[in-house]
Structure 1
Amino acid sequence: MTLQRRLMLAFAAFTLVVAALFGLFAMAFTYVVEDGFIEQLLHREATRLRAEHVRDGRWPAPVNTPMPMQVHEQAATLPAEVAATLADEPGRREVPGAEGRHYHLLPLVREGQPPWLLAEVSSQLIVRPMRAELLRWLAGWGLAVVSLAGLLGWWLARRVSRPLARLSEHMRAARPQALPRLPGGEPSDEIGDMTRSLDALLGRTRDFIAREQSFSRDASHELRTPLAVLRIGLDRLHTQADAAQRRELLPLQTSVRLMEQTVATLLMLAREPATAPVAPTPILPLVEDWVLAHAAALDARALHIDCQLGPADALALPAPVLQLVLASLLANALTHGQAGGCITIGWQGGSLSLRNPGAGDAGAGSGLGLGIVQRLLAQHGGTLAFEQAGGQTEARIELDRP
């Protein structure tokens, strides 16, 4: 339900409750005034009757009253409907009768005991004959007031919700690459203050994004270019060197490649992850590319690769992400694995595992920080877990299933 509709309903409901409450108060007030007038006449006549009874020792008949009154010295002389009511409720003062009659009863000596001064007051009733008309009048005015409150609520809701709706439209259309400037001219109230504060925050966010984008562009150019030159130079030296020199150049070549992976991964983490579904990327070609690129390093440590992957084994990760994750984990196994061992790459139940013989902390130290790899996987809905058992270190990559 929209804010505008909630405000209108709240105004209408509150007004309806208030109108109904004051209508009940008005009806109760008229009944009290009417009954008070009748009771005043009864008490005035009862005072006269008691005075004459004290003087003469008898109860005289009421005289000169605007409504019929009688003194009943015993219950048997009362109208049947009044007597039946007093039999059940001796303290009753008001009794409705048949055919529009209505009685007021006042004990002259003792409560609930004869004699009674009885008055048939139907000719004096003002509220009861016009009760239906009075209720219709109250209902009509109540409906008019509720309608007026609904119009007031609609006007106020539009005045309040219009800037909020405009703000919501601008924020809904906002993109990180192009944050909007919020419309000015808002009223000087809480909504206007919020709009201006949010616009200032968006301005700072735009500046922050611009700085981050500039940094990413500069870092991409200023870091990748010298690393590429260094790698090409080392590769050229490697082709011209003898066996002993190649062994000396191998750590430098490995370090340069790991630095390139680090820079690529950090730049990838700086980008916003894609929200569209990602097509699965085959794993086997990426493993083969890495093995070919690091064949010399693998031979130097006498490490073997046991690849148990099939052509159809794939992970729903972007190819650059999966390539960086594999390169980091294989470089970690290459660096910390036991010389002369075997790196086993397997696929089971939709998860990729890399297992190699080696000691040490699986999560500490590698060509590319494993904390960065975990962040990169988490950004794309994946997890990285390590397990050590029987002298084997196993890294397992799994994706969250919907």
Structure 2
Amino acid sequence: MFTSIRHKLFAALAGFTVLLCVAYTGLALVISYVTEDAVIDRLLEREAATIAAQQRPGAGDLVAAYDSVDALPAVVREHIGAGRTRGEIFTDTGQHYHLRTLDLPGRRVYLLADVGPILVVSQLFQKVGGFLVAVALGLVAVALLVAWWLSRRLVAPLQVLADEVRHLGAASPAAFSASDRRDEIGYLAQKLATTFDDLQGALRREHAFTRDVSHELRTPLTVMTNTLAQAGHRPLDDRQMAELRAGLADIGKTVDVLFALARAEHIACESFDLRGCIEDSLLRLLDSDSAEERLKLDLLDLPDRLPVLGNRHLATLLLNNCLGNAFFHGGAGALLRVSWAGGVLSVVNTVDPSRAGTMQGFQHGQNLLHRIAGAMRWRIDFHADTAAYRVDIAPLPGH
């Protein structure tokens, strides 16, 4: 049973080749015998025309004319007795007769030709039949060899592609040798490589999403759980309520970032004005009543336009998180400075030394911010000390 596509193709080509050989051999035999009979029949017609024109029986080396049925050989008389006046008569003694009846005025003439000595096809097969069979078998063998070679050559790229797909690792890049071919196999290899890469990218994003959900949400949830546990013994004060609200806001921002990163490879990059995103984020933050009490914009040093290359949605999430962290970890009376120099956006907030322990909790979100920047091929760095916290963002230049 054929299970390989190469075997199936070879069987199809070989079967078609043998069928053509047998069909053309049979057709050649039929044409040979029909041609031979047609020549003999034409000779009888010419002899009959000669006898009819001369009104007398003739005789030749090939064709004999008989006025009486009794003069004919016995096998021919049986043929005539059966009502057949013309035809081809075979005998067991080697004679091969062709009979034609000619009706003349007042009499009937029987033209009989013993064509055994001039049969060409049968004698040809007797003499060179073995050679012809050998040649035919040789041609069939050559045809089968060509069919095998064609099947091997045509199917080999598909078999190589199948082996490469079979041995492709889960984390290895999809690179197929047939990708450079300028035919359907090359197109198939390119599409397979693209599909594998997309699938592996989706699996990586799913794994990262699961890991980040477990890692990034654990800290705010732990803080909120501890705060709520204390509420069972005494009412929550304003500071604890503020921490709960900040924790909820932190979870909401983290979830937004995680979903954005999960869709990052499906979001196109474009050139846009980063200054507009910065101003929108600042206005959103400073419009908050609590922000007015705890955060003061000390410096805003930006050029009129900041064309960058990236994704506006991801950039907005990045700025919202950086500014939101400055608001949350800066403490009461914190100063915020936003400046641009040398292609780097710096976001600096002063830190109350008494809140240094709280500020360290911000590090749990740095991985997300690195991933947001990495999705746009931006660079982001964090610098922390006891008096200030600085975030440097280096975006790709736009136009």
* TM-score relative to the length of structure 1: 0.52
Shift of 1:176: 4.3
Q: Which structure 1 residue ranges, 5 or more long, are not aligned?
A: 54-58, 243-251, 264-269, 271-402
Distance in 2 separating the partners of 1:133 and 1:231: 107
Asked if 1:101 is matched to 2:95, the reply is yes
CA-to-aligned-CA distance 1:61-81 (integer Å, 9 cap, x gap): 32xx342x3223343332111
Asked if 1:10 is matched to 2:6, the reply is no
Q: Which structure 2 residue ranges, 5 or more long, are not aligned?
A: 236-243, 256-261, 263-399
Aligned to 1:217: 211
CA-to-aligned-CA distance 1:218-254 (integer Å, 9 cap, x gap): 222223432343334434444x369xxxxxxxxx9xx
Of residues 188, 193, 196, the one that matches 1:194 is 188
Shift of 1:175: 4.8
Matches within 5 A, 1:3-42: 3-42=5-44
Distance in 2 separating the partners of 1:60 and 1:150: 58
Distance in 2 separating the partners of 1:225 and 1:88: 114
Shift of 1:204: 2.5
Counterpart contact for 1:182–1:195, Cα < 8 Å: yes
Counterpart contact for 2:157–2:178, Cα < 8 Å: no
Aligned to 2:52: 50
Report sequence identity in percent. 31
Aligned to 2:57: 60
Distance in 2 separating the partners of 1:224 and 1:135: 92
Shift of 1:16: 1.0
Counterpart contact for 1:16–1:142, Cα < 8 Å: no
Matches within 5 A, 1:59-208: 59-62=56-59, 65-67=60-62, 69-88=63-82, 90-109=84-103, 114-133=108-127, 135-178=129-172, 180-184=174-178, 186-208=180-202
Counterpart contact for 2:179–2:189, Cα < 8 Å: no
Shift of 1:29: 1.9
- Which letter maps to 2:146? L
Distance in 1 separating the partners of 2:67 and 2:214: 115
Distance in 1 separating the partners of 2:129 and 2:225: 96
Distance in 2 separating the partners of 1:140 and 1:241: 108
Matches within 5 A, 1:278-357: none
Distance in 2 separating the partners of 1:224 and 1:132: 97
Shift of 1:146: 2.2
Larger Rg: 2
- Which letter maps to 2:189? T
Aligned to 1:386: none
Shift of 1:97: 1.4
Q: Which moved more, 1:220-229 or 1:189-198?
A: 220-229
Shift of 1:102: 0.2
Distance in 1 separating the partners of 2:10 and 2:61: 52
Give the match's secondary structure for 2:177: coil
Give the match's secondary structure for 2:122: coil
* TM-score relative to the length of structure 2: 0.53
Distance in 2 separating the partners of 1:15 and 1:66: 46
Q: 1:30 to 1:42 in 2, by over 3 A?
A: same
CA-to-aligned-CA distance 1:370-394 (integer Å, 9 cap, x gap): xxxxxxxxxxxxxxxxxxxxxxxxx
